[in-house]
Structure 1
Amino acid sequence: MHASPTPRIPIAPLHEPLTRFVPFDNAPFPFRGLIPDSGKHFLDHADGNRRGHTSPRDGSVHWEDETFKDNKVLLYFPKGFDIRKPALIVVFFHGNGATLTRDVIERQQVAAQLDAAGINAVLVAPQFAIDAADSSAGGFWQRGHFAKFINEAATKLAAQYGDHRVAGAFKQSKVVLVAYSGGYLPAAWSLEVGKADARLAGVVLFDAMYGQIDKFVSWLVHEHRRAFLFTAYGESTHEENEALKQELDEANLRYKSTLPKKLLPGTITFIDAGADVKHDDFVTQAWTQNPLTWVLSRIPGYPKTSALPKAPAHKRK
């Protein structure tokens, strides 16, 4: 007699939120390659067996075993996330002087803001330089690395979800890239050489346009019809955002400077949050409180729950 097959457990929404720190093979660090702008080795300083990176800001050395050793990535699933429905992957690039726990989760409330947005989305946030004034892109300087990172994220998300059957769904999910402050540099290179354009639904910059304007313009010229750009800024990056506007004018790309009801493909939005907004608090307090929640809640097509059925006509009041 043949044994009866084991019944397949149906895939269901998550009953509780899930937070994990998972090592990635394609994390931005450790990184021992070249810096593409200069062709120099990233780790350009040695002291015995220690290797370090010389800061272009002040010439200080950030040591690999202290600053560029962490290959862990924060994965967060909000309660109610359902992979059976269209799902969005939100990739968050933190700024300088940050750690995933102290800053991304606790201070900036990135996971909580995603949860409050009410969309069917998960968070993927890699660790860059650990608590240091450094914007290095690491692996994202390399051609195709961002695409490899996104593909690995799909596999790791499925593993944490607890069902390998959903890996294919994650690999089809669209991606929104959010960069804050120093996260602009890995974001710019991810757009330039990351080879993940087909997956990108949009890019969000929070006081992050510190340079690499040409890379953002090039991406918009080629991809603006199927993705959106939303850049909000204070005094810190006001000048660079104005420069980006000029570049878009020359490229005949239209943009708006008013808050949109929806973030749709093909839209480019600039929001001046004002000179009084503190750069360090921008992720939690900018033109509005919890601006990440505001942005994510305006991305259409990813409802977390199905619409409630309408009440019968005789019960309506």
Structure 2
Amino acid sequence: MLCRAAPGCRATLLVHMAAAPYPYDADPNRNEPAFFQGRDPTTGEGTRSRADRTFSAGGNYADDRVLIHVPPGFDPARPFRILLFFHGHLATLRRDVVGRYDIPGQVNASGRNVILIAPQLARDAIDSHPGKLIRQNGVADLLAEALPVVARETGLDPDRLARAPVVLAGFSGGNIAVVTALERGGIPGRIAGVILMDALFSEMDRYARWFEANDQRAFLFVLYGEATERNTDELIAAFRERNLRFAVRFPAGEIAGDANFFIRVETKHVDIPSDGPPRAPLAAILHRLPPFEAFALVPPTR
């Protein structure tokens, strides 16, 4: 527990979960490709090599914790959203999601009725693999395990939690977890929107297909800098080809449920989740969402 009934939170918890992305290894019964690429000669544990560095099962792929944050102003009597946030490379929940980027504080500052759920992906590693979330309904399984904890902390009816709209957000290497959640997460009728912060290092065609199939029911908000400019331009071109409307300026008012935004920023890549602009970008985007998204309850087209 990080805090409970304190000025900055109603509850902020790190919870061990079986459905968390890690630990993970390929399941031969599911015909999954091998995950670990080698074995440590001393410990025998699995290893993966990325960018000339080696990461180990025990050190980087074993953290089964999930961050759950309920803001101090949360009102269980009102409609609410779930923000499912996926961090980037070389990150931990406590140091980066809570500390460096203050994602719980941004949820608080948004002034919206939002519950934050953020799983630990590969811990302090250069690796975008989403672990168990790659499996069919992996996100649904994660939420199913997290929501009883939320119900206990808020008094919310579990049935309401199970129907709540979900906004997916990812920074940098969290991109793969986001697009996997879209395609096979098991919550297609609940996805209200996607927020990407300098995250389009790949998968532009997958995003284009999903938003074409789900136009009119989910928004896309992309903040991007130099690191992902070329790929973001590719996705913008794909949106044009599909006649999907979008804007390139930060909205002054509410974000419609089917709106799309591509906002170029000059901020250093690692600072975008905190500095945007605008500063605390998640807070600003969440604040501009309407109080309740009826569009989030529209059945998906595919």
**TM-score interval w.r.t. the shorter chain?**
0.7 to 0.9
What is the CA–CA distance in structure 1 between the aligned matches of 2:115 and 2:182, rounded to whole Å? 21
Q: Percent identity?
A: 32
Matched, 1:136 2:126: no
Paired residues for 1:1-317 under 5 Å: 17-33=10-26, 40-47=33-40, 50-58=44-52, 60-161=53-154, 163=155, 166-260=157-251, 261-274=253-266, 277-302=267-292
Measure how far apart 1:195 and its partner are. 2.3
Q: What secondary structure is seen at the aligned counterpart in 2 of 1:296?
A: helix
The question of whether the paired residues in 1 share the 8 Å contact of 2:50 and 2:126 is answered with: no
**Change in 2 beyond 3 A, CA 1:187/1:180:** same
Whichever residue aligns with residue 279 of structure 2, its letter is Q
Over residues 234-281 of structure 1, what are the superposed CA-to-partner deviations in whole Å (9 max), with x where a residue is unaligned? 11111110010111122222211122222222111100113xx11111
CA distance in 1, matches of 2:292, 2:92: 29
How far apart in 2 are the matches of 1:70 and 1:231? 29
Q: 8 Å contact 2:73–2:108 — kept in the other structure?
A: no
How far, CA to CA, are the matches of 1:29 and 1:132 in structure 2? Answer: 13
Alpha carbons of structure 1 residues 51 and 160: separation in structure 2 relative to 1, 3 Å:
farther
Give the CA deviation at 1:153.
2.3
Say if 1:227 and 1:267, in contact at 8 Å, map to a contact too.
Answer: yes
For 1:22, give the aligned amino acid. V
Structure 1 runs of 4+ aligned residues shifted over 6 Å read none
Aligned 8 A contact 2:37 2:49 in 1: no
Q: Deviations over 1:197-245 (max 9, x none)?
A: 1111100001111101121112101112111000011111111100101
- Aligned equivalents of 1:230 and 1:18: distance in 2? 28
Give the CA RMSD over aligned residues. Answer: 2.2
Alpha-carbon contact 1:14-1:81 (below 8 Å) kept: no
In structure 2, what is the equivalent of residue 311 of structure 1? none
- Equivalent residues of 1:29, 1:70 under 8 A apart: yes
Deviation at 1:184, TM superposition (A): 0.5
8 Å CA contact 1:50–1:64 kept in 2: the answer is no
Unaligned runs of 5+ in 2: 294-302
- Contact 1:45 1:61 (C-alpha < 8 Å) held by counterparts: no
- Deviation at 1:56? 4.4
Partner of 1:307: none
Report the TM-score, using the length of structure 1 for normalisation: 0.84
SS in 2 for 1:41: coil
Whether the 8 Å CA contact 1:207–1:232 is kept in 2: the answer is yes
Tell me the distance in 1 between the aligned counterparts of 2:148 and 2:255.
28
In structure 2, relative to structure 1, the CA distance for the partners of 1:156 and 1:93 (3 Å cut) is same
Structure with larger Rg: 1
Once the two structures are superposed, what CA deviation does each residue of 1:157-210 show, in whole Å capped at 9, x if it has no partner? 11333x4x6212211211111100110011111112212111111000011111
Report the AA paired with residue 216 of structure 2. Answer: R
- Unmatched 5+ stretches in structure 1: 1-12, 304-317
Asked if 2 retains the 8 angstrom alpha-carbon contact of 1:231 and 1:270, the reply is yes
What is the TM-score of this pair, normalised by structure 2? 0.88
